[in-house]
Chains A and B, each alone.
Chain A
Amino acid sequence: MADIFIAPKQNEKKKNANKTIEPCMNMLSSFCKNPQGISFEIQKEDESIILFLRPHLLTNLPWILFSILLAFLPLGIKILSPVFGINFLSSGIFVHFLITFILLYYLIIFSYILISFLTWFYNIFIITADRIVDINYSDIVVHNVSETKLSHIEDVRYNQSGVIPTLFNYGNLFAQTAGTEENFEAHSIPKPKEATDVISDLIGD
């Protein structure tokens, strides 16, 4: 007897989700479907990454501007010091200290830039066919990796608020898990609607 209706299998649905995507990964990618060459520690052999997310590149703007300000601060002080009658180069020993402190100051700025970049770079949200993995790097000595199976996700939603997020199409994604499990949040990710749709398709909403 001919079948009237055959429900699509969950695996086929997941495979279809993979098919609609194109490789697009580079080092600064914030949104990439089916990224190539990326793997994570707890990845299974047959587990492929469907979506790779990071905060939007634009979220780096505050620390970039602050770094530029800090970099030009000594120059500003040098220009303004004669106005206030201050002469830093009045004594030989102070010149030596000044050179040392300025070099240390620029090394610290360099580290600030590196840490800020790393915090953005390693703040990753990965969606595979089976689960969601959230990797966070913060406060220099803290890194956090959490994961949950897609079957444990009950609800996925996103929000976009503010002029700049709306203009550049980025926002927050929230994945609510069952019971007492930790909820997953991806902040300031590009194309949050598309990411939400991908997860919804995978969990079969």
Chain B
Amino acid sequence: MAIDFSFFQPVFLIKIITLIIIGFYIIFTLVVFTQIKAMGEIINIPHASEIFKTIILVNAILAISLFLFAVVIL
């Protein structure tokens, strides 16, 4: 049985690489979120931890949206 390799085109590969990069970026934002949480436990500065957590969550939501956007349009 012949396997169809036609989908392995440069554009398809670039799409996969782009999605992998965005995936790594999402993981990176989660690492930063964990770090902010840890720093918030080490030192308590009023409102700081909450503000940073909100910012990084917005960042993570944007990154996930970009991933979905890339899946759809690429």
Contact with B along A1-45 (1 / 0, CB 8 A): 000000000000000000000000001000000000111110000
- The interface of chain A, by Cβ under 8 A from chain B, is 27, 37-41, 93, 96-97, 99-101, 103-104, 107-108, 110-111, 114-115, 118, 121-122, 124, 135, 137, 140-141, 143, 145
- A115/B32 in contact, CB under 8 A: yes
Which residues from chain B contact A108 at a C-beta distance below 8 Å? 25
Contact among B18, B38, B48 with A121 in the assembled complex (CB-CB below 8 Å):
B48
User: B44 → chain A, closest Cβ, in Å?
Assistant: 5
- B43/A124 in contact, CB under 8 A: yes
A27-B45, A38-B44, A100-B69 given; A111·B35 CB < 8 A: no
- B29/A143 in contact, CB under 8 A: no
Other than A110-B59, A115-B32, give 11 A-B pairs with Cβ distance below 8 A: A27-B46, A27-B47, A39-B43, A40-B42, A100-B70, A100-B74, A107-B62, A111-B59, A122-B39, A124-B43, A143-B38
- B32/A114 in contact, CB under 8 A: yes
Which residues from chain A contact B45 at a C-beta distance below 8 Å? 27, 37-38
- B44/A137 in contact, CB under 8 A: no
Main secondary structure of the interface of B (DSSP, over half): helix
Cα A71 to Cα B56 with chains together (Å): 19
Which residues from chain B contact A110 at a C-beta distance below 8 Å? 59
Contact among A100, A114, A140 with B31 in the assembled complex (CB-CB below 8 Å):
A140
User: A157 → chain B, closest Cβ, in Å?
Assistant: 26
Which residues from chain A contact B74 at a C-beta distance below 8 Å? 96-97, 100
Cα A110 to Cα B56 with chains together (Å): 10
Q: List 17 A-B contacts (CB under 8 A).
A: A27-B45, A38-B46, A39-B43, A39-B44, A40-B44, A41-B41, A41-B42, A97-B14, A100-B74, A103-B66, A104-B25, A108-B25, A111-B28, A111-B29, A114-B56, A118-B52, A143-B35
User: B72 → chain A, closest Cβ, in Å?
Assistant: 10
Cα A39 to Cα B42 with chains together (Å): 9
Select from chain B the residue with minimum beta-carbon distance to A41: B42
Select from chain B the residue with minimum beta-carbon distance to A36: B46
- B66/A104 in contact, CB under 8 A: yes
Contact among B11, B43, B46, B73 with A100 in the assembled complex (CB-CB below 8 Å):
B73
Cα A114 to Cα B32 with chains together (Å): 9
Which residues from chain A contact B35 at a C-beta distance below 8 Å? 118, 137, 140-141, 143
Which residues from chain B contact A101 at a C-beta distance below 8 Å? 18
Which residues from chain A contact B21 at a C-beta distance below 8 Å? 104
